[in-house]
């Protein structure tokens, strides 16, 4: 049964106590950690991550409602926001005092919208009036301002993979200003505008953070906009519009993913595939931006595979709640714009769903762990009842040969560079 589904949840889910009046739950996208904060931390904070190394439990003083809580990289410093004016910090570095210290934002009358860790000891405060980039000095229990930028901010989004922060500006919120962070430096990137389906009059905030996501696809940074068409346009459905955001240069709209339906959606990027989950139908669509159909300057994409639900998950319970035979539970996603990679794509089921062998090979050759599945395709064509005609076999092996040629060319180029460097060094030594 599970072989029929190309999407399934992780085999090791993170289980935590439900949110309640005494237990607040937070998720940190950067470290993939779930925080369960009981009674403001006084009766315990339990942090669980994808592995045991990122899990920890501790207590902290209850100083008010926790609005946001995140560890820096490596669980070295904990940051807790309880008010709109300051952020508290606690050292978790071995041999450092486990003491709390606080820092207020420097801009008067500004409200802190949130914060982002860009390294183990560098943090950005995002306020409604700009951003403040700090270095945390754990030994001195203080923060050093590295750089700041004044700008009116509606909301923000951070991509931990690339350390790029996206700020929503202007009244309508559709002008986005990105900043890049690296090794105590902050760089302002080119701002760009998201094209709205309709311009409201009078002007008001029209672009929500729920409709924006940032992700790396094929080593390139993209801003993804979930575009809901107005009913007056008689559009067949919503779209996901991809804006390519280079480190230098202008951000451009490059891809459009046709969803062919309306409603609420959530996005994942897994193995360079964009996975769009549709709430009402509990089904998912997969897109590969390398498989494209040109429509002028844009690449327009339809789903690579038929819509399908995620493989029902069997939750293993222990104790009194356990039942002798537990039926698999249908997966109902909590919908958010946050990018995650916790829904892996299984390749074997795609063999029955993608009949075009040439397109199937293009799809498989760009995936991780594809070798055994590709061998299965070749075996089916050559030995089993599903024998392909010679033109199909030729197409498949042409694609395999092309990939192998590219690998050999890259290897030879690398070897040539190494040889040139060796000869140069040898000549220098002789001289």
CATH classification at residue 65 = 2.130.10.10
Helices (H), 249-389: 350-353, 357-364, 371-382
pLDDT in single tens digits along all 431 residues of the chain: 456 788 887 777 777 888 888 899 999 999 999 999 998 888 899 999 887 777 899 999 899 999 999 999 999 999 999 999 999 999 999 888 888 999 999 999 999 999 999 999 999 999 999 999 999 999 999 999 999 999 999 999 999 999 999 999 999 999 999 999 999 999 999 999 999 988 888 889 999 999 999 999 999 999 999 998 766 556 678 999 999 999 999 999 999 999 999 999 999 899 999 999 998 898 999 999 999 766 667 899 999 999 988 877 666 655 555 555 555 555 555 444 444 445 678 888 888 888 888 899 999 999 998 899 999 888 888 886 556 688 888 988 898 999 889 888 888 888 876 666 655 554 445 44
Q: Are residues 109 and 133 in the same domain?
A: yes
Q: Within a domain: residue 163?
A: no
Q: Are residues 353 and 246 in the same domain?
A: no
Q: Within a domain: residue 76?
A: yes
Q: Are residues 216 and 308 in the same domain?
A: yes
Q: Are residues 209 and 325 in the same domain?
A: yes
Partnered with residue 17 across adjacent β-strands are none
Q: Within a domain: residue 22?
A: yes
Q: How far is residue 332's CA from residue 11's CA, in Å, rounded to a whole number?
A: 16
Q: Are residues 13 and 122 in the same domain?
A: yes
Final residue belonging to a domain, choices 89, 122, 153: 153
Q: Which domain holds residue 387?
A: 347-431
C-alpha dist (Å) from residue 410 to 101, 290, 398, 407, 423: 52, 20, 18, 5, 20
Closest CA to 167 of 223, 120, 103: 223
Q: Are residues 276 and 357 in the same domain?
A: no
Question: What 3-state DSSP class applies to 416?
Answer: helix
Q: Within a domain: residue 164?
A: no
Q: Within a domain: residue 160?
A: no
Q: Within a domain: residue 158?
A: no
Domain count, the chain: 3
Final residue belonging to a domain, choices 344, 378, 411: 344
Q: Within a domain: residue 386?
A: yes
Q: Are residues 265 and 362 in the same domain?
A: no
Q: Are residues 81 and 137 in the same domain?
A: yes
Q: Are residues 240 and 251 in the same domain?
A: yes
Q: Within a domain: residue 168?
A: no
Question: What 3-state DSSP class applies to 242?
Answer: strand
Q: Are residues 271 and 394 in the same domain?
A: no
Q: Are residues 247 and 378 in the same domain?
A: no
Question: What 3-state DSSP class applies to 216?
Answer: strand
Closest CA to 69 of 42, 35, 101, 105: 35
Q: Are residues 316 and 230 in the same domain?
A: yes
What value, to the nearest 5°, has the Cα angle with vertex 347 and ends 343 and 350? 110
Final residue belonging to a domain, choices 344, 379, 414: 344
Closest CA to 45 of 33, 32, 29: 33
């Amino acid at each position: 049964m599970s072989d029929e589904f190309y999407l399934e949840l992780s085999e090791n889910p993170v289980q935590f106590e439900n949110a309640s009046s005494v237990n607040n739950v937070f998720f940190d996208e950067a470290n993939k950690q779930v925080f369960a904060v009981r009674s403001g931390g006084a009766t315990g904070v339990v942090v669980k991550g994808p592995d045991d190394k990122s899990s920890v439990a501790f207590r902290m003083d209850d100083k008010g409602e926790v609005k946001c809580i995140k560890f820096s990289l490596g669980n070295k410093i904990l940051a807790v926001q309880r008010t709109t004016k300051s952020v508290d910090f606690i050292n978790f570095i071995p041999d450092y005092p486990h003491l709390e210290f606080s820092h207020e934002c420097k801009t008067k009358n500004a409200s802190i919208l949130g914060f982002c860790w860009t390294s183990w000891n560098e943090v950005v405060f995002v306020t409604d009036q700009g951003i403040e980039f700090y270095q945390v000095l754990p030994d001195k229990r203080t923060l050093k301002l590295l750089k700041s930028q004044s700008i009116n901010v509606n909301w923000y989004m951070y991509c931990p993979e690339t350390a790029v922060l996206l700020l929503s500006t202007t009244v309508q919120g559709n002008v986005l200003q990105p900043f890049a962070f690296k090794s105590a430096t902050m760089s302002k990137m080119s701002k760009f505008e998201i094209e709205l389906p309709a311009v409201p009059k009078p002007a008001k905030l029209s672009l929500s953070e729920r409709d924006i996501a940032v992700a790396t696809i094929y080593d390139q940074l993209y801003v993804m906009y979930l575009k809901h068409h107005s009913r007056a346009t008689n559009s067949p459905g919503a779209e996901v519009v991809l804006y390519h955001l280079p480190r230098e240069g202008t951000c451009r709209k490059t891809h459009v993913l046709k969803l062919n339906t309306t409603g609420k959606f959530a996005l994942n990027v897994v193995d360079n595939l964009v996975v769009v989950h549709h709430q009402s139908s509990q089904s998912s669509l997969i897109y590969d931006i390398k498989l494209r159909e040109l429509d002028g300057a844009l690449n327009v994409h339809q789903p690579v595979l038929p819509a399908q639900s995620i493989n029902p998950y069997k939750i293993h319970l222990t104790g009194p709640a356990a039942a002798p035979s537990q039926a698999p539970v249908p997966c109902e996603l909590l919908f958010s714009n946050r990018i995650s990679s916790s829904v892996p794509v299984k390749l074997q089921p795609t063999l029955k769903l993608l009949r075009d062998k040439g397109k199937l090979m293009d799809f498989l050759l760009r995936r991780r762990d594809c070798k055994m599945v590709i061998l299965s395709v070749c075996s089916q064509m050559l030995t089993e009842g599903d024998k392909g005609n010679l033109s199909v076999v030729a197409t498949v092996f042409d694609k395999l040969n092309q990939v192998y040629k590219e690998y050999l060319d890259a290897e030879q180029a690398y070897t040539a560079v190494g040889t040139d460097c060796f000869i140069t060094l040898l000549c220098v030594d002789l001289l």
